[in-house]
Amino acid sequence: MAQSIASPASVHDKTQGSRNARTGLIFLGVALAMLALGYAAVPLYRMFCQVTGIDGTTQRASTAQAAQVQATGQRISVRFDGNVANGLPWSFHPMQTTSNVIIGEKSLAKYEAKNNSAREVTGTAVFNVSPVQAGKYFNKIECFCFTEQTLKPGQDVEMPVIYYVDPAILDDPDTKDIQQITLSYSFYESGRL
């Protein structure tokens, strides 16, 4: 009986083929991981900014937390701004452009939004505070930005924001001299953010 002996070339081909398959699977895994990170990057960054107050994001406070804050008697000016993204058929603006609030005291601001289209539209508000250093001291208790907003054709609504400026803003060397904070919202059509 003759034994068939594998030639060195065929052994090399099988080894090379398994290496190529393994390399291909590794690259596929890396590509899928990159794709997943790409989708997760925006929500993860937003969550990081909200936790740290970096990039002008505000803090979220409960009514119980707000009740424990002592007003200082000192005032700070809060300016309000509202914008809509291209393609969102809404008008959106603050009902007052500025408010002179007592630091540590709950305050109310109202925005007005109107759906100018003939279809129901759902929007999401993205917000920031400037100067960015003040973001970690701007606390929202209630805000239309916490949830998506759906407006029927032609519907006009008021959108309240209940907030306070944390008195710790006065103790921070980077923020103690701030005279005005701007709270800005931009509305985007949901699913297009």
**Collapsed DSSP state (helix, strand, coil) of residue 96:** coil
- Say if residue 47 is in the same domain as residue 61: no
For the chain, where are the alpha helices, taking DSSP H only?
8-52, 63-67
- Say if residue 87 is in the same domain as residue 138: yes
**Dihedral over alpha carbons 187, 162, 96, 47 (to 10 degrees):** -30
pLDDT of residue 179: 95
- Say if residue 177 is in the same domain as residue 104: yes
pLDDT of residue 56: 47
pLDDT of residue 70: 79
- Say if residue 22 is in the same domain as residue 67: no
Whether residue 64 is contained in a domain is answered as yes
Q: Judge contact between 115 and 182, C-beta under 8 A.
A: no
Whether residue 21 is contained in a domain is answered as yes
Tokens representing residue 193 in the block: 């953010």
C-alpha dist (Å) from residue 90 to 72, 126, 139, 140: 38, 15, 27, 24
- Kindly give the confidence (pLDDT) of every residue in the chain, 193 residues in length, as a single tens digit, with 9 standing for 90 and above: 556 565 555 656 667 777 888 888 888 888 888 877 776 655 665 556 555 555 545 566 667 676 677 778 899 999 999 999 998 999 999 999 999 999 999 999 999 999 999 999 999 998 989 999 999 899 999 999 989 999 999 999 999 999 999 999 999 999 999 999 999 999 999 875 5
Rounded Cα gap, residues 10 and 4, in angstroms: 12
Whether residue 2 is contained in a domain is answered as no
- Say if residue 114 is in the same domain as residue 36: no
pLDDT of residue 188: 93
- Say if residue 37 is in the same domain as residue 71: no
Range of the domain at 17: 11-52
CATH number at residue 66: 2.60.370.10
- Say if residue 65 is in the same domain as residue 126: yes
Whether residue 22 is contained in a domain is answered as yes
- Say if residue 170 is in the same domain as residue 102: yes
- Say if residue 94 is in the same domain as residue 121: yes
pLDDT of residue 164: 93
Rounded Cα gap, residues 34 and 126, in angstroms: 25
Please classify residue 67 by burial: count the beta carbons closer than 10 Å to its beta carbon, then call 0-12 exposed, 13-18 middle and 19+ buried. Answer: exposed
pLDDT of residue 20: 82
Q: How many domains does the chain have?
A: 2
pTM (whole model) above 0.75? no
